[in-house]
């Protein structure tokens, strides 16, 4: 693992590991707008939706992926609390959590 990864690289590494262990993985990428900005097409309460949804058998993991000093927004916190309240495993994953991520996805 590289010491200095982008969030995108780290998320790809997590997704590759998850798929290797039989997880279905979803991530919704933003698209470029005409004015050069980035937007993810979504409606209603989607702001802050977790970066990754992983499902295998009867297990659901939702994860927000952060690198460096990245912090959760209030909306991201709300989504993680909501998923956790429904019985999903809700995580914030950082580079230093790699061993924990491996153990969770292998199990």
CATH of the domain at 58: 3.40.1350
In a domain, 40, yes or no: no
**Range of 24's domain?**
7-28+51-106
What is the pairing mode between strands 59-65 and 89-93?
parallel
Predicted pLDDT of residue 44: 63
Predicted pLDDT of residue 36: 74
Instruction: For residue range 50-68, list pLDDT tens digits in order.
Output: 999 999 999 999 999 999 9
Angle 39-55-46 (CA atoms, 0-180°, nearest 5)? 25
pTM: 0.85
In a domain, 37, yes or no: no
Instruction: For residue range 10-37, list pLDDT tens digits in order.
Output: 999 999 999 999 999 999 866 566 777 6
User: Is the confidence at residue 81, as pLDDT, over 90?
Assistant: yes
In a domain, 42, yes or no: no
Predicted pLDDT of residue 5: 87
């Amino acid at each position: 693992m590289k010491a200095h990864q982008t969030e995108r690289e780290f998320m790809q590494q997590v997704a590759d590991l998850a798929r290797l262990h039989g997880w279905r993985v979803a991530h919704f990428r933003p698209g470029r707008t005409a004015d050069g900005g980035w937007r993810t097409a979504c409606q209603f309460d989607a702001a802050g939706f977790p970066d990754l949804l992983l499902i295998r058998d009867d297990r659901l993991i939702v994860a927000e992926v952060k690198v460096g000093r990245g912090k959760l927004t209030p909306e991201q916190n709300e989504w993680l609390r909501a998923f956790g309240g429904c019985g999903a495993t809700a995580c914030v994953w950082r580079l230093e959590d790699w061993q924990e991520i491996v153990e969770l996805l292998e199990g």
